[in-house]
A and B are shown apart, each in its own frame.
Chain A
Amino acid sequence: MAETLKRVLSPGRAAGPREDMAAEVGPPLLLLGGPGSGKTALLFAAALEAAGEGRGPVLFLTRRPLQSLPRRTPAALDPLRLQKIRFQYPPSTHDLLQLLCSAHEARGPAPFLLLLDGLEEYLAEDPEPQEAAYLAALLLDTAAHFSHQVGPGRGCGLLVALQTQEEGDSGDPLQLSLLQRYFPAQCWLQPVAPGSGQRCFRACLEPGGLGPRAEWRVAFQPDGEMTITPWPTQAGDPSSNQGPSSGGQP
């Protein structure tokens, strides 16, 4: 859900009128990055952001319970927000497919944001293109069904994280281009040279033709706290990005 992710990445924009933002669901978004690049943290932050909007529940699917809750600010761990996030842990691809195919059988209010962490683990079970397309298409179909249930003028967003190989390139170009058919918007997380004790990543959002590309700097402190700042807009000078931490304003 490109819009929710953008709001997480640019909290200052939340000053705008809520109604405008609530109406935009945005296309399904794929969050890509190597191991440890902050995908789970960002996904979780998006879930908290959405839960805080009070529009209804948020469904977070992942193979294993989060080992520790990624931190952003103390306010973000408001228990009321956490209660709005429904976690489910399908252990296998078969269980995930079963969950998605039976999503319409569930009672209660439909979620307005569906998140999935670790798509690569579910895809690894059967690397056939048709199976990958089937899983991606079912994710979209489930979100479409929830959209139908939450009502006209609103919708259910879809945000999925996929781990790629360590060094930027994804392992299987065919699989990636196949996924891009179903996820027109992508956000890439790439490591950049760290500053003092932090791990830093460049988050590059490509909204799939529905807006300009945008970039942010995501930094993780040693204690796990995540800070996000807009990527400095000086044209391509890597040395200017190596200074310490937050407030990288030009």
Chain B
Amino acid sequence: MAAASRAVTLPAVVEELLSEMAAAVRESARVPDEHLLLLKFVFGSSALQALDLVDRQSITLISSPSGRHVYQVLGSSGKTYTCLASCHYCSCPAFAFSVLRKSDSLLCKHLLAVYLSQVMGTCQQLSVSDKQLTDILLMKKNQEA
């Protein structure tokens, strides 16, 4: 599964790493240790958390007959977060805080998990109707438990 083109790109080193990982996966169906190390270097603890999300098949690519698509990630807390496919946006609080407000991180672990699952070709797939996709994109906030 080729990486979706993004209107807003990651820094060149990250883009390069992701495409090298994709090439390695195509060749040998696994990610070399050097790539994992580099991932950890760039993303810190988010890298391990993201890889864990990928391992647990927590990422779902949701598409509708229109061709539009979006990702949902089942977080470790059991909450589902919605990530846009075309640019960096995640509905999780860490994105709002670490990425947007403090500019500490490039990505939250959910977005990183989405990109990793694209590279590694492991992603659940779900088809919904056009109307249901609208609702998912609207990210209607659920009642807090």
Contact = CB atoms under 8 A, between A and B. Distances in A.
Given A138-B137, A149-B67, A104 B130 contact: yes
B1 to A, nearest CB: 15
B72 to A, nearest CB: 14
Interface residues of B, number: 27
A182 B138 contact: no
Q: In this complex, which of B84, B130, B137 has the most chain A Cβ atoms within 10 angstroms of its Cβ?
A: B137
B100 A28 contact: no
A213 interface: no
Nearest to B67: A148
Interface string B122-145: 000000001101110111000000
A130 B95 contact: yes
B66 A141 contact: no
Interface string A44-55: 000000000000
B66 A137 contact: no
Contacts of A28: 7
Interface string A126-151: 00111001100110110111001100
B66 A140 contact: no
A130 B86 contact: no
B104 to A, nearest CB: 14
Given A137-B88, A138-B137, A182-B7, A129 B101 contact: yes
B64 interface: yes
B7 A101 contact: no
A203 B144 CA distance: 47
Contacts of A148: 67-68
Contact of A129 (B64, B70, B96): B96
B29 interface: no
Contacts of A144: 5, 7, 85-87
Contacts of A149: 67
Interface string B74-92: 0000000000111111010
Contacts of B84: 137-138, 140-141
A178 B137 CA distance: 20
Given A137-B89, A140-B86, A98 B100 contact: no
A148 B68 CA distance: 8
A182 to B, nearest CB: 6
Contacts of A133: 89, 95-96, 100
B89 A104 contact: no
B137 A181 contact: no
B8 A181 contact: yes
A181 to B, nearest CB: 6
B67 A101 contact: no
Interface string A158-193: 000000000000000010001001101000000000
A67 interface: no
A178 B7 CA distance: 15
A98 B138 contact: yes
By Cβ-Cβ distance, the 8 closest A-B pairs, closest first, are A137-B89, A144-B86, A104-B66, A130-B96, A101-B137, A104-B68, A102-B134, A140-B87
8 contacts: A129-B100, A133-B89, A133-B96, A138-B84, A138-B89, A140-B86, A178-B100, A181-B88
